[in-house]
Amino acid sequence: MPLIDRDPLLLTPGPLTTSLRTKQAMLHDWGSWDAAFNRMTGQLCRQLLDIVHGAPSHVCVPLQGSGTFAVEAALGTLVPRSGKVLVPDNGAYCARILHILQVLDRAVVHLPFAEGQAMDAAAIGAALQADPAITHVALVHCETGTGIVNPLQEIAAVVAAQGRALIVDAMSSFGALPIDVRATPFEALIAASGKCLEGVPGMGFVLARREALQASAGQCHSLALDLHAQWQYMEKTTQWRFTPPTHVVAALVEALQQYQAEGGQPARGARYAANRERLVQGLQALGLRPLLDAALQSPIIVTFHAPAHPQWSFPAFYEGVRQRGFILYPGKLTQVETFRVGCIGAITPEDVDQVVHAIGATLRQLGLLPGACAA
């Protein structure tokens, strides 16, 4: 039996814990052709653009499905079949972009970095200089496999100086970390409803430069994932081309109202940073070590080394913490054993204190405390 009689808090990079108001927004049904719903979609797109000061240079194209659907849609629509994409790679979600491009049969240049090492803008610039055929750079801003933040603004400046197009996977950073298209030029930025905006999963969106989207007609490999066709249909009718995730849209509109009331990106980012600090301090006191140096660590999710102990078992650890009311994530690294704890969602530093308590109690129950956690 669970030790806490409530839904467990999700300490994951999405889906994540949402507020009661956001949940309640899904209690109503909406018609997909209804004028009120179409106005809600239009309002939502304008608000998403405003977060990065995107109007009038960019447009927002929402898309049904998970964030990966939107990533594939952006790459498949905006990169021509004759294009060539440089993919800097320091984690699992960079590798996913590589896989998508391979499936799409787009030419790729792979630029690997070590896990736990931030991407280097100078190395990206050198790769672009070495290969004039590269047309695009596909960048993961926050690599949630480790929690590392890559230097988006510096990389964007290098890409722009080389005259190439930047496509940014900002899935885990949008809304929490500062991004301003006026200072950080990008061809497209991709995010989703169930991340730092604290909506529910089910809708991705792409903030695309208007001229690039206009020029992309006929390039996409897919009917359903064609951003240009989706945008054109919405422009003409205000409606989605295919059945929209109505409840997800309604929840995100409500979540954005709370986002603005909290103080927008600066306040949301500050709360997540406070969650991270409380988490790292608490787990370090238990002998657990973060993977990353503090200077590289995002306020989104923290990766910790697993205890170097023969009794360590992530499934047993996970279940013990879950019984105490919290859901964690396994590690996503290939070289070392880790687990991850998210800092995002409708949670506070006081909630994080309870997470630390639950982790400590579970480690004691498993015979891993005291003194057995250090690697």
Is the pLDDT reported for residue 2 higher than 60?
Answer: no
Cβ neighbors of 253 (< 8 A, separation 6 or more) are: 25, 40, 43, 44, 47
Question: Longest C-alpha distance within the chain, in Å?
Answer: 65
- CATH class of the domain defined by 20-260: alpha beta
With cut-offs at 50, 70 and 90, classify the pLDDT of residue 336.
confident
pLDDT tens-digit map of 108-153 = 999 999 988 999 999 999 999 999 999 999 999 999 989 999 999 9
3-class secondary-structure state, position 328 = coil
What is the model's pLDDT at position 232? 98
**What are the structural domain ranges in the chain?**
9-16+265-365, 20-260
pLDDT tens-digit map of 151-172 = 999 999 999 999 999 999 999 9
Mean pLDDT of the chain: 95
DSSP 239-277: S-SS---HHHHHHHHHHHHHHHHHTHHHHHHHHHHHHHH
What is the model's pLDDT at position 372? 59
pTM above 0.85, yes or no: yes
Question: 322: which 2 tokens?
Answer: 């879950």
Residue matched to tokens 């800092």: 343
Superfamily of the domain at 9-16+265-365: Aspartate Aminotransferase, domain 1 (3.90.1150.10)
* 253 to 26, 111, 345: CA distances (angstroms): 11, 38, 16
Cα 246 from chain centroid (whole Å): 21
Give the mean model confidence (pLDDT) for residues 18-33.
95
Residue matched to tokens 């090492």: 117
* 160 to 155, 178, 193, 247: CA distances (angstroms): 9, 19, 28, 38
Neighbours of 307 (CB within 10 A): 23
Let me know: does 136 contact 159? Beta carbons within 8 Å: no
